[in-house]
Each structure stands twice: as structure tokens, then as C-alpha cells.
Amino acid sequence: MSPRILPFLFGLAIAGLASNPEPPFSRLPYVQSASPTRIQVVWRTEGPVEPVVRFGTDPSRLDGEVAGSDITVRASLGTEKQEIPERWKPLRTARNLGLPKLHSAPIGTFQYEARVKGLKADTTYHYAVYDGARRLTPADSEHRFRTQPEPGTRRPYRFWVIGDGGTGRSAQKAVFDRMLSAVQSEGRPLDFWIHVGDMAYGTGRDVEFQTRYFESYAPLLRNTVCWPSMGNHEGHTSKGTTGVGPYYDAYVVPTRGESGGVASGTEAYYSFVHGNIHFICLDSHDLDRKPDGAMARWLKADLEKAKADWLVAFWHHPPYTKGSHDSDKEKDLIEMRHHILPILEAGGVDLVLTGHSHVYERSMLIDGAYSTNATTAETFVLDDGDGDPAGDGPYRKSSGLTAHAGAIQVVAGNAGARLGRNGTSPIMRKTIVEYGSVLVEVDGDTLRGRMINLNGTERDSFALVKSGKVPVQRLSLPWQPAEYKKPSTSPKVPNEAPLDTRVLVASGAEWRFRPGPLPGGQEWTRPGFDVAAWKAGKAPFGRGEGKFATPLSAGPAAPRALQIRREFEVRQADRITEMGLWIDYSDGFVAFINGHEVARVGVGRSFGRNAQGVTAREDAGRVYVDLRNIGVAVKDGVNVLAIECHAAGGESQDLRLDPELVAED
Amino acid sequence: MRPWPKRLGALALVSVLCGKGVAHEGPEAEIEEITVEIARFGESAERLLQRAIEYRVLGRLKEAANDLQRAARLETDRPGLRRELARVQEGLGQTNEALATTELGLNLKGIEPDERAALLALKAGLLAAKGKSGAALESWTEALRLQPENVDWHHSRSQLLRELARHDERLKRLDEAIATTGSGMLEVERIDALLDAGRWAEALPRIDFELDASRLRGSWLLRRGRALLGMSRESEARKDLEAASAEIRARLGPGIREASLLAEVGLAEELLGHVEEAKRWFGDALAAGAGSFVRERLEKLKAAKKD
């Protein structure tokens, strides 16, 4: 086994044990923006440190050092008028307030971006992060990186492609694990990976980035560069127009052509060269996509200079899809097809990687399908085989970069978010509604892609061989996929809890409670309400079927509703990504935190004695309900959770309430 | 991270609206979901904004504008809502209303610099569309003062200065922009600005440098041909222009084709004196989405014929 693989395999062994960062880290070190001679090491701490990065090719002798002005420091210390926790107030010095700001990181966060320079190309280095003389990262083989090969270097490369994964749920983890298993079993590490967007659901907040991206992929991020493109979910809080937001805080990408390609001058779109592959990342979300816009003009300038053997482009919104999105109806997708694809195809693009649509779709070898109306395949398909080396054989193009010689489109939006399909795109050869991700390998004249699903099964395999001179043929009647008929009814999908949660109020906890009739107002849901006259009892509460720690009275005159409330403590509300209730209930409930309504199930409208439209619960058992408005409702210190539960009425007298409050952070 | 929760296997169905981010099922489903949410919980600026974004994606701009207007009434001090509304109004062709919306946004108390800059950029585009170039320039300049690294805005301001034939100012601003951003695209724009300014000799060595570094040479051959023509080196120019036209034509694809390449063939043909051919190519370029540069050239050619 080669020495290069050994540390890599070690990394895989600990992949499943990623945890919240140990202090002082609030975001573990990760590598960014590689080139043949430099790379960036980025990390965050809670409170400041004296940042130093030491590096070297021998893990036992890290003789290179980065410190001082080669490390950019950003900080989150709030605005001058903002009330911040007492412990951070001493940090609000003129010097610290003059640092570049982090958009919305928790107060007290410091981010360090160390530029490691003067490196040898295609070489593995080890690194460690220090606070002055104190080593913060362990002395392991995990903290390493490999510089890019010199442009034009021809050797086998492998990269991973995922999209729409950042949910914090089980599918995201399983997709990651299956990729790691595949790579491990083949004994060949990734050179880098590409994220085609939607890495931090639901709105790309800083805490969502932390939990659902950085903690989820930490074992890979610390030693393998991720090249990102912004998705629409990140676009809720980050703006390509201004380059501001948690997405732009999270990533350092080349803006001045540091990794090859023409300088874009912006982190919204950029290019890089890895060996003999030229990559182009575009912002499909919120920038002008028109052909005379700045992004398109940069794209053209970049393509003019690109001299690699292979050309791969990636962004978020797919030009062709009938998955959970429809590229014939949605403006962003249509514009990328109509305005941007012609430029790329005239520049000789080989592979286009996108996401957004929660499905895996892979096209035939196609060119020229730019219509703003419904996409058709006739004359736009150059090879209608399956592209599988073990099937119809690989697609073929002339060697080098040739205009309009065909490209493969891959929609890889299946890495974690709920899957969906609405139809069939006529240019797609494979449409697979399964979770998974894509491994791409480039070796000499062959590019190979494989979709690995949640079970580790290879569900699609395609290849493109570029060799000699291959004439372009346009098929007037290409193979067509079977029409997809969407089922008239779809099964209800369970609402899944995040994986990384901790309990704030345990099941079986003691509550203050009062059976109805309930008051009309919401005063009882707010902090400070006097519950001294209320009884104390443990959950589960109820009557009817089942065992209850606190039985409620039954009979014709028994109350049809129940109020419960209790306090819980939160240390740092701004570090909570999501809160939810694991709850067994009958028949409906409304939950409040500090007087703010955060959940409503089975109760149509209003609350208390005015509650209307209580519907009988059809299923049973504990379910997970994610809470809304937690950014507004939850505060540091003591909070109040209040729940009112209603019986539906009719013959059944059942009333049941058994909640557990959890938080993802 | 806690161990894998055992209860994952015991998930039951739940009729509640689940987490927005994870449930993403396309814009129509999102609209449906948010509409249900509004019916249950009432209107909020955030819900209306999210629904408006989905309407906008589907091109249902009137519905988007309606939601955004209501959202802006609910949260009067949120500049992002004004910006979104103005964008939608612009899409509806309601330039005056869009301008009024940006003014309302700009007048909000405590507006953050980034938001202010974005509104100013939007306002600049709207003013330019109304032909109020001086005011548009002021707006661009103010936006760029707040965000000097914004490549897209530098590019837009440069295009406006080109339309106004304020070549020296355009070059000066581009020099500043390149120093700030390092953008390669703005370097190209600067070479175009030199050509537009008739500073042929200054442009020529830069074009030669780019030409040597390029895989795709047509655009640069065209620029060199233009410079040489300006310097009255006509036979050299013709050679470059013909080579440019041939190389670019070879890269044009079928059906709807790449607007900038169509425009470049049009320009090559115009400079070669093939007026009718040039008009045809410019017309195709406009149909493919080309912007003001092509429109100006085409109008000029049409006007010349009338003369």
C-alpha cells in the first residue's frame, strides 16, 4: 500500500465520529482554494487566538510557518448599538471592531484565513494550527493537504460531486458514508470535491452552515478542498450581487486567477485548473445571466484562454430537469440554458454539473438544446446510447476542446434533501429518484462518472472518451425515455429529525399542567406567568388508551383540553440550528416558546378556548415536529415552553400529550 | 454528534408542515405550502417574500409584486423587500413604480451600507433605462463608493459610459476598477474602451498579448482588425477580420446561437464593408439576447442607409 493512501484510510476510519468542535475551535480547520503553490487553511475560534499555521511534508517536522499579515482575521462582535453577552464586551476594542466582519456568525466568533504559500506542486503537506506556541490541532495525519498539480499534468484524477445535501438528516450522512466506503474500497483518494449548492438548509444561515455542512463533512474538509457554487437556499442569506453573507464567509475561492483561469474579481463565479481539467463555477442564483452581462463576458474570456484537455462547468440551477424542478417552467433554469449554455458549448464544454432538482438525472451526449420553450431532443442528441462502458459503450468526442461536439449534463441534487420527480426530460438517459452522489474520474482520454446510491450500489455509470477526430452527427430521431406518469397520490413522507440533536426537555419530565377549559388569551404561554396554583405532573399526560404518568379525569364532563408549561435553559441561542418536538399527542396541539407560537398540528386556527378545526389524529406514536420562529422566540438563559393539547371531539374522549424538546446545534 | 438515533426507524407520518428547507418540492409546491401556511398562521412579511420569490421564478410577476407590496406594508423598515419589489416592478416594465420603490428603500432609516448599495445599483439601471444617464451615473458611482469591489457594477457603469461616448472617464474608471478587483473581464472591457476611444496604437500591443495567450482567437483577431483599420493598415486589418469571421462562424452552433459570437461576426462583416450581411448577423444577435452595443451598431447601419 502506498504511503499516500495510508493516512487517507485512517481518515476514513474516523469519518463517522465527527463531533461539535472542541474549544477553542468553533469551526474546525479546513482547506480552501488550492493551487500548485499555495492553499488556504481556514478555521474559527470562540474568542480570539494568536493564529499560527505550521506546515511541512514530514508530519514530524512542520518547519514552515504562516502568521501575521498572511492570516486574514474576521470577527463577529455585533454592531455598536447591539446588546451582546457580557463576556464578549471586553473584545469590542477599536482594533477588533476594525476587522472585516463575519456576516451573522455567533457573537464572539473569530475566523482565520491563513495563506500558505511557496509550496511544491502535487505534493502532500501536513499542517497544524496553533494559538501562539500552543498546538490546537492534534498531531495526526489527518491535517494535511495536497497541492494541485501543475496545469496540464496528465495523471488520473478523482473528484466527488454532490448537491442539495445540507439537511443534517440521515440521508446526507448515508450519502457521505457510502462515498467514503466506495473510495476506501477502491484505495484511491479524492483529489477534491465539488458542491453544486444547497449545502445549508433551510436558509443558509451561519449556524446551518456550521451544523449541516462543516460538522457533517469535517473529516473530508480538513484535508480535501471543496469547490463550491451557491444554491438558492444559501441565497436566502447570501447575495452574489454584493458578495456578502454566510456563504461568502464560509468559502475562500480564487478571484484573481490564483488557481488558473482568468481572474473573475468576485467569489460569486471563478475558475480553476486541476492538472489537465479546467473547471468553471458560475452563480446561477442571483446574478445577471444575459450574454452581455458581466458573468457571461467573464465566462467567454475564461473559455478563450482555457487550454486544458477537459472542460467541466458547474453551478446550481440545471438547464435540463424534470425532477423536483422543471427547467421548462422556471426562469433561472431557462436563462442558464438559453444564455449561458451556448457560450459554454461554443467553448467546448465536456461535462456540466448542477443540482437544485432533488433527483439524479444524466443526459445523453447533447448539444444545442437552448430553447426557451419545452426542451426537445431531436437534432440535439449526438449519441443516444447509454454511455456505459459495460453497455452501449462510452460517448466519443474528438480530442481537445471542440465547439459543439457534445456535452453530458448531470443533475446531482440527490445528496440529502427530499427527492422528487415531476416528469421526464427528453435529453436524459438516466433519471433515478434515489439518494446518492457522483464520483468522477479523469484518466488520459477518458472521463468516467458513477452515481453511488444510499446502499453503496453503483446506479449509473457513464464515460466519455476524447480521442482522434470524431465527426459530429445529429440524430433526428434519438432514443427517448419512457414518459413518466406522476402517481395521483403520493405517500406522505415522514418528517425526519436532524441527526445531531441534544435534549432540552426530556420525555417524562415534570411539567406544570392544568386541564381545560382553556383561557382565550396567550398570557399563560409567556415568561413570568404565575403557575403556582397549577398542579405538577410528569409526562405522559392523558386518558383513554395507553399508560400515563399523569392520568387525566375521564367522563362526559371531562375537559377536552390540557395546558402544560415548563422552563428550559439555553446557553447560546444563536448557535441553535433547529429545534423540534418529539411528541406523542392526541388529537392536536399548539406549542409556544416565550409566548411565540412555534408549532401547530391538528388544530386549524386560533388557540385556547377559541381553537377551531381540531381534527382526529389518524396515526399514533411519537413524531418529530420542527419548530418555527426559533430565531425570534428562543433567548439565552431561561425560556418557557408551553403546549396546549386538544381532543377532537365526537365519541372518542382520548387526550394524550408526551413531548420531548430537542435542539440541533 | 450523538450516535445515530434509534428512533429514526419509528418515524410516523405527520400532517404538520415540515421544515421548509428540507421539503423543497419545486416552486409550485412551495407556493401551495406557503399559501396553506398563510391561511393557518396569517400573513407575515417573510412568508409573503418567500412566496413572491417562487412566483418570480415561475414568471408570475404580478402575483409576486402583489405579495411584495403586502410584505412591504407589514415590514416597512426592511430594505430587502423594497429591492425585491423594485426588481419585480422592473420586470413588469413598471419603471416609474420601481424607481419610486427604490427611493422608499433608500430613505429608510438605519439602512445598512450593503443594502443601500444594492438599491443604488438597481436605481442606476432603472434611470439608465429611462434615458436619465447623468443621474444613473451618479447612482452607479455612489453604489460603487459603498462597494468598490463589485465587478458587475463596474461593468455596468462602463457600458453606460460607452453609450454616452465618455471614453476618457470610462478608461479612468476602469483603471480604478481593475486595480481594486483584478478582474480579467474588466481588462477586456478596458481594451474595448481603448478601441471605442480610437486609441488604436495603445490598444494594439495589449490585443497582441491576449491573442498570443488565447486558445479561441476570433474575438481578439476581430479587435486587432478593428485597431488596424483605425490605424489605416487596411490589408492587415482585412486579413484579421476575415480570419476572425471564419473562426467565429466555425464555433457557432445550431438553432438559437450564442449572442456574443453572432454579434462579433456582425461586427467583422460591418468592418469588412458587408453592410447587409452585418445587419443580418446583428439582428440574429439581438434575437439571441445581445444588448445595447449590438442595438447601437444596427441602428447606426440602418440610419446610414437612410442617409
Report the amino acid identity of residue B32: E
> Is A349 within a domain?
yes
Query: Which residues in chain A are contacts of B291 at CB distance < 8 A?
Result: 290-292
Q: Are residues A205 and A96 part of one domain?
A: no
Measure the CA–CA gap between A270 and A272, rounded to whole angstroms.
7
Burial class (CB in 10 A: 0-12, 13-18, 19+), A313: buried
Unique residue bearing C-alpha cell 408549561: A565
Beta bridge partners of A656: A542, A586
> Is A71 within a domain?
yes
> Is A403 within a domain?
yes
Q: Are residues A444 and A406 part of one domain?
A: yes
> Is A184 within a domain?
yes
Q: Are residues A436 and A368 part of one domain?
A: yes
Q: Are residues A412 and A376 part of one domain?
A: yes
Catalogue the long-range contacts made by B274-282 (C-beta closer than 8 Å, 24 or more residues apart). B275/B301, B275/B304, B275/B305
Query: Which residues in chain A are contacts of B215 at CB distance < 8 A?
Result: 304-307, 401
**B289 contacts chain A (CB < 8 A):** yes
- B271-302 pLDDT, tens per residue? 999 999 999 999 999 998 888 889 999 999 98
Domain end residue (candidates: A493, A521, A547): A493
Q: Report cis status (omega within 30 of 0) of the bond before A481.
A: no
Nearest CA-CA distance, residue A533 and chain B, Å = 31
CB contact under 8 A, A499 and B59: no
> Is A82 within a domain?
yes
Beta bridge partners of A193: A160, A226
Q: Are residues A592 and A443 part of one domain?
A: no
Measure the CA–CA gap between A571 and A590, rounded to whole angstroms.
25
DSSP state of A357: S
| A-contacting residues in B 136-195 (Cβ below 8 Å) | 147, 149-152, 155-156, 159, 181-186, 188-189
Question: Considering only alpha carbons, which residue of chain B is nearest residue A379?
Answer: B254
Measure the CA–CA gap between A542 and A553, rounded to whole angstroms.
8
Across chain A, what does the average pLDDT equal?
A: 92
Identify the CA nearest to A24 among candidates A3, A41, A44.
Answer: A44
- A436-457 pLDDT, tens per residue? 999 999 999 999 999 999 999 9
> Is A187 within a domain?
yes
CB of A319 within 8 A of CB of A327? yes
Residue A202: which of B12, B20, B57 has the nearest Cβ? B20
The SS3 assignment for B288 reads coil
DSSP state of A67: -
CB contact under 8 A, A622 and B7: yes
Question: Considering only alpha carbons, which residue of chain A is nearest residue B40?
Answer: A605
**B300 contacts chain A (CB < 8 A):** no
Measure the CA–CA gap between A88 and A46, rounded to whole angstroms.
10
Measure the CA–CA gap between A418 and A358, rounded to whole angstroms.
7
Q: Are residues A346 and A305 part of one domain?
A: yes
A307 falls in which pLDDT band (50, 70, 90)?
Answer: very high
- A237-296 pLDDT, tens per residue? 998 888 899 999 999 999 999 999 999 999 999 999 999 999 999 999 989 999 999 999
Helix B184-196 vs helix B200-213: crossing angle, to nearest 10: 140
B107 Ramachandran zone, left/alpha/beta (phi>0; psi -120 to 50):
alpha
**B205 contacts chain A (CB < 8 A):** no
The arithmetic mean of pLDDT across residues B11-19, rounded, is 31
CATH of the domain at A596: 2.60.120.260
Query: Which residues in chain A are contacts of B217 at CB distance < 8 A?
Result: 304
CB contact under 8 A, B215 and A307: yes
CATH of the domain at A55: 2.60.40.380
The arithmetic mean of pLDDT across residues A428-432, rounded, is 98
> Is A152 within a domain?
no
Q: Are residues A479 and A542 part of one domain?
A: no
Q: Are residues A526 and A432 part of one domain?
A: no
Measure the CA–CA gap between B129 and B143, rounded to whole angstroms.
17
Domain end residue (candidates: A88, A115, A147): A147
Measure the CA–CA gap between A560 and A305, rounded to whole angstroms.
74
A426 pLDDT exceeds 60? yes
Grid cell in block for residue B184: 480579467
Question: Considering only alpha carbons, which residue of chain B is nearest residue A202?
Answer: B21
Q: Are residues A2 and A112 part of one domain?
A: yes
Grid cell in block for residue B121: 445599483
Within 13 A of B182's CA, how many CA atoms are on the CB side?
13
Report the amino acid identity of residue A641: L
- B120-169 pLDDT, tens per residue? 999 999 999 999 999 999 999 999 999 999 999 999 999 999 999 999 99
Domain residues of chain B, as ranges?
Answer: 252-307
- B176-233 pLDDT, tens per residue? 999 999 999 999 999 999 999 999 999 999 999 999 999 999 999 999 999 999 999 9
Whether this prediction's pTM lies above 0.90 is answered by yes
Q: Are residues A376 and A261 part of one domain?
A: yes
- A506-522 pLDDT, tens per residue? 999 999 999 877 676 88
A261 Ramachandran zone, left/alpha/beta (phi>0; psi -120 to 50):
left
- A357-400 pLDDT, tens per residue? 999 999 999 999 998 888 899 999 999 999 999 999 999 999 99
Q: Are residues A433 and A362 part of one domain?
A: yes
Domain end residue (candidates: A493, A515, A545): A493
Measure the CA–CA gap between A77 and A83, rounded to whole angstroms.
10
How many structural domains does chain A have? Answer: 3
How far from A97 is each of A89, A91, A93, A110, CA to CA, in Å?
11, 8, 6, 12
B240 pLDDT exceeds 70? yes
CATH of the domain at A477: 3.60.21.10
Q: Are residues A296 and A201 part of one domain?
A: yes
pLDDT at residue A159, rounded to an integer: 98
H-state helical runs in chain B? 27-41, 45-57, 61-74, 79-91, 95-106, 113-129, 133-146, 151-163, 167-181, 184-196, 200-213, 218-230, 234-250, 259-271, 275-287, 292-306
Instruction: Quote the domain boundaries for residue A513.
Output: 501-664
B305 falls in which pLDDT band (50, 70, 90)?
Answer: low
